[in-house]
Amino acid sequence: MKLLSEAAISRRRFTMLGGAALAAPFVATRALGQEAAVFRIGYIGPQSGPLGIFGAHDGWLIEQLRANLAGGIEVGGKHMQVEIITADTQSDPVRASQITRDMINSAAPDLILTHSAPETVNPVSDACEAGATPCLSTVAPWEAYYFGRGGQPGTQSFKWTYHFSFGTGNFLNLYSGQWSLLDTNRRVGTLIPSDADGNAIRAGLLPRMAEAGWEIIDPGPYENMTQDFTTHINAFRSAEVDIVVCFPFPPDFPVFWRQAAQRGLAQRMKIMQMAKAGLFAAEMEALGNLGHGLCTGVYWHPAFPFSSAAAGLSNADLGANYEAATGRQWAQALGASASLFDAALALAAQSGDPKDKELMAATLPKLVADTAVGKVDFTAGPVPNCTVSGLAGGQWNMVSGERFPFQLDLVSNADFPEIELTADFRPLAFG
Amino acid sequence: MLEAILQGVLLGGYYAVLAAGLSLMFGVVRFINLAHGDMAVLGAMLALWLVQVMGLNVPMAIALTLPAMGAIGWLLQRLIFERALRGGFLIPILTTIGLAATLQNGMFAAFGSDTKSLGAHIGSLSWASWHLPGDIFLGKLPVYMFLTALVVLGGLHLILTRTGFGRAVRATASDPEAAALCGIDARRVHRGAAAIAVALAGLAGIFLALRAQVTPFSGPMMLIFAFEAVVIGGIGSLRGTLIGGIALGLAQAMGGMISPQFSILAGHCLFLAILALRMTEAAASERGGWRNTLTAVLFNRSQIKGRLS
């Protein structure tokens, strides 16, 4: 009896042991992270789910980054290893928030990077703001990021979270510049759904386009997943528009465009300008002949005359190496993801000590970085926490005899005068 | 106006095929398959795989996909649904939710996240049209799809009304125990119905891939339209499903004429109205008809003929 009671663990002792056991992993990772001088970057994006296409290149890119950064970096006279940890949002905003909190609590990253669509960057950024972890994000209109998270212009709304991407101003610049290259009747039909992006575009962009001298024919907002676009097509046909601009939920676009071709609208139009849809070659391949000549905004292209320091490659090599290694065609998301890491390394260097989160947060508003998508300069605005990256004008052209059936040509460069165009802008021609 | 009506009717054919499998499953097997939309996407993915990887032409791919989907339906019923049905009312629903998630992520792993479309493989048919007098355009593809829907649903109707299998299906649907007493193997009938239902889902998926594009995550949205068409048309009746699909398509087209924003909403409104009607129908007949019910509700009179007698 006596022996037993000595060997048995008392309730108080059990609680102490259990508490220590639970706390040990956290204490250990934090302690280790401090000693080994590792700059730990958390990379959170959609790798599966409906937005998964934006993360399709992640496997290759992360490998390339790890290989290039294997020797570590020099920061403030100190040598540091770089560690990249990744997490998949599964395209779900709730899960995005959850895994960000988990990552902050369990791995204590010094910086979190996130990308692609407000459904990803907003919840991840909110979780970083709450968890006092610096965060950089890209590829979501900055208005959707800033106003969607309750940002107030004129004030420092967020301390930890910063975003660089295109915005409605880019679209105005791009469209006015590119459409003026062709001789049209300047009548523009708009296909804009009643969702968050659509409402922002309708309120922000259309009035400014009208001011710029384009006659806007807007049949009104529609619901995503609409299966029949008769109303829009008839309105465009009777107004004899030469140009249609759309911001659809991507699966809706082929439905609209095939119906437009069935009713003879597509055959008499000159420009079909897409945003949100049309970013990926796979979408064009799904359209077949109907994809030839469609236009889209381009936020990264292998022909952009920049390079990615983090990947150790010029943009041209980034695209070519990706295609050679994976057998898949390059996509804009590849360069955008690389640019996040370029900005991250620049931030580490400019802060002097990436392990000091307060210092990192204080450096973010002053960050100026050369990245794969061009110069990112947070001192430039338009609001605190956000800066605008550029958009070039792209046109999908069918090519024969090449490895991939569609190629994205650069046909206008309103935002980047230094970009060399790869083809002339041509009006739609089929039927 | 006429053009919108025509487009709505043609769209209805697609909805009817989409809904028919769901309706058949519920009517005969008493099983709500929440993975129906994902089954449809699976059919589309199989056909796409046959076309893009195996290099078959589209009609050949469709001819191979439909029996394959039928076999999958038979196996699912044999291996999963039968067992789930024994677990009561909730288990089948949970099972199919799980199946839907498995299918979505499985297809994502197997086929990738790229959007795909069969429309790119049928040349100009995906956008060819007839120009009718009165400046009306009728797309050839929607017309062919509508005719296919009529033939398939009509053929199924004939099978159900004219063949021994059809008799067995109807008998099992109306009273499984009595049917079993007459020597009908209900399990065999259920497997046959599941095979037909999943093959129909596959056909609907192929339709979607022809007219639009599919990703592994397109299924849930298809399920909503399928459910609406089933409820509008009445559960378990193929003719009703066809009418329900056309009504849904028409409602969306007519709603779209009022305002583009009203298109899908009009479909939902029709669905809710019919649902409300169906739900109160039973209560009304219990109170001795609509007139008595209205009187009772409006004037708060509690004498109910039917119940007291």
CB contact under 8 A, B115 and A283: yes
Q: Does domain A37-166+303-388 have CATH number 1.10.3470.10?
A: no
Q: Note whether A99 contacts B: Cβ–Cβ < 8 A.
A: no
pLDDT for residue A9: 57
* For residue A369, pLDDT beyond 80: yes
**pLDDT, tens digit, for every residue of B275-308?**
888 888 877 777 777 777 777 767 665 554 444 4
Runs of H (alpha helix) within A108-219: 118-130, 142-146, 168-179, 196-204, 206-211
Q: What is the identity of the amino acid at A171?
A: F
User: Could you give all domains of chain B from N- to C-terminal order, each with its CATH number?
Assistant: 2-258 (1.10.3470)
pLDDT for residue B229: 93
Q: Which residues in chain A have their CB less than 8 angstroms from residue B211's CB?
A: 255, 258
Shortest Cα distance, chain A CAs vs residue B213, angstroms:
6
Average pLDDT, chain A: 88
Closest-CA residue to A295 (of A182, A411, A213): A411
Complex prediction ipTM = 0.80
φ, ψ of residue A277 to 5 degrees: the values are -85, 165
Buried b (16+ CB within 10 A) or exposed e, A396-424: bbbeeeeeebbbbbbbbbbbbeebeebee
Give the residue-averaged pLDDT of A408-426: 89
Domain residue limits, chain A:
37-166+303-388, 169-298+399-412
Say how far apart CA B259 and CA A98 lie, in whole Å. 39
On the question of a common fold for A37-166+303-388 and A169-298+399-412, the answer reads: yes
Q: Give Cβ neighbours of residue A70 (< 8 Å, ≥ 6 apart).
A: none
What letter would DSSP give residue A186?
Answer: -
Choose among A231, A285, A287: nearest Cβ to B257.
Answer: A231
**pLDDT, tens digit, for every residue of B76-88?**
999 999 899 888 8
Radius of gyration of the CA atoms of chain B, in A: 21
Choose among A48, A251, A280: nearest Cβ to B212.
Answer: A251
Give the CA distances from residue B201 to residues A152, B35, B73, B148, in Å, rounded to whole numbers and listed in that order. 49, 10, 10, 14
Q: Which residues in chain B have their CB less than 8 angstroms from residue A49's CB?
A: 108, 113, 217
Choose among A49, A226, A263: nearest Cβ to B263.
Answer: A226
A169-298+399-412, CATH topology level? Rossmann fold (3.40.50)
* For residue A168, pLDDT beyond 90: no
pLDDT grade, residue A180 (50/70/90)?
A: very high
Pairs across A and B, CB distance < 8 A? 139
Q: Which residues in chain B have their CB less than 8 angstroms from residue A254's CB?
A: 117, 119, 212-213
**pLDDT, tens digit, for every residue of B139-170?**
899 999 999 999 999 999 999 889 999 999 88
Which of A115-129, A225-239, B248-262, B292-306 has the lowest average pLDDT? Answer: B292-306
**pLDDT, tens digit, for every residue of A3-61?**
444 445 566 665 655 555 555 555 444 444 444 589 999 999 998 877 888 888 999 99
Choose among A222, A223, A255: nearest Cβ to B212.
Answer: A255
**pLDDT, tens digit, for every residue of B193-208?**
999 999 999 999 999 9
